[in-house]
Amino acid sequence: MLRKLLMLAVIAAIAGFAVYWVVTIPGTIPQSALAAYTPNVANGKTVFDAGGCSSCHAIPKEDRTLLGGGMALPSPFGTFYVPNISPHPTNGIGKWTEAQFATAVLKGTSPAGEHYFPAFPYGSYHLAKIEDVRDLFAYIKTLPPLSGRSREHELPFPFNIRRNVGGWKLLFFSDKPFVPDPKQSAAWNRGSYLVNGLGHCAECHSPRNPLGGIVSSQRFAGGPNPEGEGWVPNITQKRLGSWREKDIAYFLETGETPDGDRTGGIMTRVIKNMAQLSPEDRNAMAVYLKSLAAVDGPPRPAKKATKS
């Protein structure tokens, strides 16, 4: 009897592992899926700016075209270090194929066939049009190659097991493309595409559950800074109700609020990117953000009393 129970346990374990292995297979885009295409490098720069690539990958911050990486991204799961995505053939992405780049951005899978950790915001980037991703790749290839290599992530077990990210993706990641809403204006749809996709605004401006997934019912409602310090504000009409569309567009260009205050922290890096976009794109983002319903965010912790 005991032997039969052991056999059943072994069979169940093997079956469970097989299911785990299948459901966590990294998604890829084969080269054969990419039709002949002539990239638009100018649009690639727009995608680069909208996607905020330089905010994390540019070192030093003074030059947005030097994508050597290395910046530390602290999180509740450990510290991630941003990789070199310059065109360097060894330490960057210089030898990547177009399909490998599209797979990384849209599927969160590396050229080695491993899951990227979701510190890389492919949870939003997957909404990008394939043409925009191909244009971005063409633009990055025009930038200077840098030889530096980032250090390894510092993650404790079991968060350092990349295969487990496949389970996270099963729960929180969808690779469905962006679908315009025919009931909305062209500006609203462009704004939705930029805010939800390339701009990945929800990645910081939304609270997350214990597994690191965005709390969908409180999307854009603010929460703890994912980098560990401070609080990211609510950007629904709960906070921006008094802001006009032109106020939001002006803020995205300058970082200045309607009352004359200026943004700080990680948002200063975002504004540097948004300022590079066309006025039409910033206005489109403003149109979309102004349309968001008021949503209550998580309660902000009380400030600690200072000793007198």
Judge whether 235 and 257 are in contact, CB under 8 Å. Answer: no
pLDDT at 291: 95
Asked if the model's pLDDT at residue 308 lies above 50, the reply is no
Asked if the model's pLDDT at residue 3 lies above 70, the reply is no
The residue among 274, 139, 126, 148 whose CA lies nearest residue 203 is 126
Angstrom CA distances, 177 to 12, 49, 51, 205, 249, stand at 37, 20, 16, 21, 26
| pTM of the predicted protein model | 0.89
CATH code of the domain occupying 180-296: 1.10.760
pLDDT of 8-42, one tens digit each? Answer: 666 666 665 566 666 677 889 998 889 999 999 99
Tell me the domain boundaries of the chain. Answer: 35-177, 180-296
At 237, give phi and psi (nearest 5°).
Answer: -70, -5
pLDDT of 248-273, one tens digit each? Answer: 999 999 999 888 788 877 888 889 99
pLDDT of 163-206, one tens digit each? Answer: 899 989 988 998 889 999 999 999 999 999 999 999 999 999 99
Bridge partners (DSSP) of residue 78 are 75
Which amino acid type is present at position 104?
A
